[in-house]
Amino acid sequence: MPFDRRAFLQQTGKLLVLTAPAAAAWDYLIAGEAEKAPGYDAAAHWWAMIIDIERCIGCGRCVQACKAENGVSLEPHYFRTWVERYQIDPDDPEHPQVDSPNGGYDGFPTATKAGVKTFFVPKLCNQCADSPCVQVCPVGATFQTPDGVVLVDKDYCLGCRYCVQACPYGCRYINPETHTADKCTLCYHRITKGLQTACVEVCPTGARYLGDLKNPNDPIHEFLRTHKVQVLKPQMATHPKTFYNGLDGAVR
Amino acid sequence: MPPFRSYEHLLRLAALFAVGAVLFLGLRSVLVPSDYGRLGPYRAGALAANQARPIVYAGQAACVDCHSDVADIRKANAHARISCETCHGPLAGHAMDPAVAAVRPDPRAVCAVCHLPSAAKPRDFKTVNFTEHAGDAACTTCHAAHAPKL
């Protein structure tokens, strides 16, 4: 390409107006091919998830989608996301019954007992801002990305299982194939390409929402302002970025 | 007190220390990955490794790109917000290469995933006892798949 005065001015103008990564991505963006734009700027995002318990119908589509998208073992007890069903008997509110047959992968059997308070609670990695699993990793194989996602470096993980014990939410497991720690990545391979996470993509009732807290125009801010949300186990001071709307006090 | 002359002791110590330092730095440069610590106390390359997974669910935008006719039918009904792949399953393969056929979902089982009655479902969510409602008939006998309201 001949670098004449016109090209020089165009290039300089772009760099002056845009930041360097945005300038590099500009040609793809104006062509409407944002996904090809190089240099996803992790520091420009801070991902969070909203779980709206009042919308969850326990269909288990999220569990299936998560396993398919991320190649999670179909054996029981390996889940990056799963759905729990709470049943609270008013005569014994201190001891809620919680079940999650195969993580809710195949849905739930119909509850038989009448007069019981019952609801579904989807669970996944809470993407804690102050994560105990990151704290305990002896080799730096688990870490928080600049965009707030807690990831595992499977090529660096020793499989010592400290992080599995440290997670207060039970969100980690040892991958039976690689024998390293594994967990929800918030579909990092999808969200960095502008797609929704698999669980958000397939949720039929909109009970899950992926938001970017660093984007002032993201509807997540409006949602957090107008709803009474809670995080799981706030007393652990892990500062989760998974917010629950309509969370019952019985949920642990 | 005689003057200190046994410099060779100190030299020996210094040499040992230098060998140790070189050994440490050499081993460290071999064992610690080059991208470790660039973004924090972890391998920066692990971000790219996590991003490299192939996509299985194509995403709603990819479906509507070709199937805008179905999107138009769905626009006006209660199912408008539901992603295609909720019922049709993961179809990134089909989105990349339309020759890869998409499997048609079972017209009864796919409805039952959501619409079977359960006390734990929200009060305003529409459920139905399938056997009482329609016997063994497929839901699509009466309800249109993409505009189910009669």
H or E element in which residue B62 lies: helix B60-66
Residue A27, pLDDT score? 58
d(CA A156, CA A154): 5
- Which range (A93-102, A108-117, A148-157, A222-231) has the least confidence? A108-117
* CA distances in angstroms from A102 to A75, A191, B114, listed in the order given: 9, 27, 17
A145 and chain B: CB distance < 8 Å anywhere?
yes
Q: What is the DSSP string of chain A?
A: ----HHHHHHHHHHHHHS-HHHHHHHHHHHTT-GGG-S---GGG--EEEEEEGGG-----HHHHHHHHHHT---STT--SEEEEEEEE-TT-TTS-EEE-GGGGTT--PPP--SS-EEEEEEEE----SS-HHHHH-SSS-EEE-TTS-EEE-TTT-----HHHHH-TT---EE-TTT-SEE----SHHHHTTTPPPHHHHH-TT--EEEEETT-TT-HHHHHHHHS-EE-S-GGG----SEEEES--TT--
Contact B118, B126 (CB under 8 A): no
Q: Which residue has the tokens 């949300």?
A: A229
Q: What are A164's two structure tokens?
A: 């599995």
Q: Which residue has the tokens 């008013």?
A: A90
ipTM of the complex: 0.86
d(CA A130, CA A237): 7
Contact B74, B96 (CB under 8 A): no
Three-state secondary structure call for residue B36: strand
Three-state secondary structure call for residue B144: strand
Residue A31, pLDDT score? 47
Strands A173-174 and A181-182: antiparallel
What are residue A178's phi and psi, to 5 degrees?
-90, -15
What are residue B113's phi and psi, to 5 degrees?
-50, -40
CA distance A158 to chain B (A): 14
Q: What is the mean pLDDT of residues A88-105?
A: 93
Please write the tens of the pLDDT for every residue from B53-72: 999 999 999 999 999 999 99
Residue A52, pLDDT score? 97
Residues 6+ apart with CB under 8 A from A69: A187, A190, A198, B55, B56, B57, B90
Strands A47-52 and A242-245: parallel
Contact A174, A180 (CB under 8 A): yes
pLDDT at A146 over 60: yes
Residue A243, pLDDT score? 97
Residue spans in chain A of domains classed CATH 3.30.70.20: 42-252
- For the full predicted model, state whether its pTM sits above 0.90: no
**On the CB side of A63, how many CA atoms lie within 13 Å of its CA?**
28
Residues 6+ apart with CB under 8 A from A77: A173
Mean pLDDT value across chain A: 89
Q: Which residue has the tokens 């004449």?
A: A4
> Which residue among B43, B86, B120 places its CB closest to the CB of A153?
B43
Q: What is the mean pLDDT of residues A110-127?
A: 89
Three-state secondary structure call for residue B54: coil
Closest CA to A49 of A163, A152, A187: A187
Residue A32, pLDDT score? 42
pLDDT at B5 over 80: no
A100 and chain B: CB distance < 8 Å anywhere?
no
Closest CA to B69 of B146, B150, B149: B146
Q: Which of residues 209-238 of A touch B (CB under 8 A)?
A: none
Three-state secondary structure call for residue B115: helix
* CA distances in angstroms from A201 to A62, B45, B56, B61, B84, listed in the order given: 8, 27, 11, 11, 9
Q: What are B17's two structure tokens?
A: 């220390």
Three-state secondary structure call for residue B136: coil
**Domain ranges, ordered by start, for chain B:** 42-103, 106-144
Q: Which CATH architecture has domain A42-252?
A: 2-Layer Sandwich (3.30)
Q: Across the interface, do A69 and B86 touch by the CB < 8 Å criterion?
A: no
Q: What is the mean pLDDT of residues A229-251?
A: 95
> Which residue among A107, A140, A195 places its CB closest to the CB of B55?
A195
Q: Pick the residue from chain B with its C-alpha nearest to A143.
A: B42
**On the CB side of B77, how many CA atoms lie within 13 Å of its CA?**
15
Interface test with A, best of B31, B34, B35, B42 (most A CBs within 10 A): B42
pLDDT at A84 over 80: yes
> Which residue among A111, A154, A155 places its CB closest to the CB of B119?
A111
